[in-house]
Amino acid sequence: MRTIRWGIIGCGNVTEVKSGPGFQQTIGSQLVAVMRRDGALAEDYAKRHGVPRWYTDAQQLIDDPEVDAVYIATPPNLHHPYTLAAARAGKPVYVEKPMALNMAECQEMIAVCQDAGVPLFVAYYRRALPRFVKAKELIENGTIGSVRHVQISLSQPPQSNVPSKLPWRFLPEIAGGGLFVDLASHTLDFLDFALGPIKSARGFARNQAGHYPAEDIVSAAFEFENGVLGTGIWSFNSFNATDQISLVGSTGKITLSTFEDKPLILETHSGSQSFDLPHPTHIQQPLIEQIVAELQGTGRCVSTGESAIRTTQVMDQLLDDYYRPSRSIKQTETTKNE
């Protein structure tokens, strides 16, 4: 069985513990090259993680004949161009979430990968974590009967000191939105995994605190293809912190958190049961193991471009009311300049 040799484009914080070591510790996988625009930081990462080669140019890493597959861990605005470049070089792609800035970019990424005959995977790694897999199992086993509705609540207090130079996660042109896009994408993708696709979504996005240009609160209502209804509120300017998903069925209820590492709670007429299923040290490793297995022809990965684009589509629908005016202005300006 051949070893899959990986190259990372963008070896920043997310790769230090969450993902990078997972490529080294997965059987049949090896991290052989990393890229970062700052050469000193790329070299430092490579030395600390035992990676033999480092680059400051993404295309050089992509063209490295000893790199079999590429993991793109940059901010979202670079997911699209780097995915296209890797696919056109014949390299399978594993890209961070959210998949891209918008659905149109996702569609082209999928099309180019299909034309090149390479698979496209997306880092919605909760699909492979024990707690979320358990929730899906309980639903599919009918433990809570027929699922009726879903409630999502994620709130965070505002940052006490907003820096003058905003982090990229607050800049729509880089992140595709604000913290909602960065964080809610995980929850929405999990629900797609557990319940199936969302058929329709409507939302209101606003900026209430004025600390940065992106939205800081989003409310949503949505309907799944199977008839389950859902609501959600994501607020990043609130008094207290909350992180809860409630899946309510005809005979029971499942409660869990997207980000807090605490037990899943099952409630039925028989009583309450707790499932303590902590995350692994390298939280992306279970999904990386699935990807390696698929590339070796021995398994399948549950998070692909085809599944991830659905989450981007839902987020586009929920944010449309907030971003449509600015997008319309940009389109008008572009037309005038043509």
Q: For the chain, give the secondary structure using H, E and C.
A: CCCEEEEEECCCHHHHCCCHHHHHHCCCEEEEEEECCCHHHHHHHHHHHCCCEEECCHHHHHHCCCCCEEEECCCHHHHHHHHHHHHHCCCCEEECCCCCCCHHHHHHHHHHHHHHCCCEEECCHHHHCHHHHHHHHHHHCCCCCCEEEEEEEEECCCCCCCCCCCCHHHCHHHHCCCHHHHHHHHHHHHHHHHHCCEEEEEEEEECCCCCCCCCCEEEEEEEECCCCEEEEEEECCCCCCEEEEEEEECCEEEEECCCCCCCEEEEECCEEEEECCCCCCCCCHHHHHHHHHHHCCCCCCCCEHHHHHHHHHHHHHHHHHHHHHHHHHHHHHHHHHC
Structure tokens given for 252: 């029971």
Cα 116 to Cα 108: distance, rounded to the nearest angstrom: 12
Res 326: pLDDT? 54
CATH T-level topology, domain 130-278+313-326: Dihydrodipicolinate Reductase; domain 2 (3.30.360)
Distance CA 20, CA 142 (A): 37
The whole-number pLDDT of residue 325 equals 59
pLDDT of residue 159: 74
pLDDT of residue 337: 42
What pTM value is reported for the model? 0.93
Which CATH topology does 4-124+285-303 take?
Rossmann fold (3.40.50)
- The answer to whether 167 and 271 are in contact (CB under 8 A) is no
Residue pLDDT tens, the chain, 338 long: 799 999 999 999 999 999 999 999 999 999 999 999 999 999 999 999 999 999 999 999 999 999 999 999 999 999 999 999 999 999 999 999 999 999 999 999 999 999 999 999 999 999 999 999 999 999 999 999 999 999 999 999 987 666 678 999 999 999 999 999 999 999 999 999 999 999 999 999 999 999 899 999 999 999 999 999 999 999 999 999 999 999 999 999 999 999 999 999 999 999 999 999 999 999 999 999 999 999 999 999 999 999 999 999 999 999 998 997 555 444 434 434 43
How much is the pLDDT for 333? 43
**Residues 6 or more apart from 137 whose CB is under 8 A from it?**
none
Q: What is the pLDDT of residue 165?
A: 84
The domain limits of the chain are: 4-124+285-303, 130-278+313-326
- Residue 296 is predicted with a pLDDT of 98
Report the pLDDT value the prediction gives residue 286, as an integer from 0 to 100.
Answer: 98
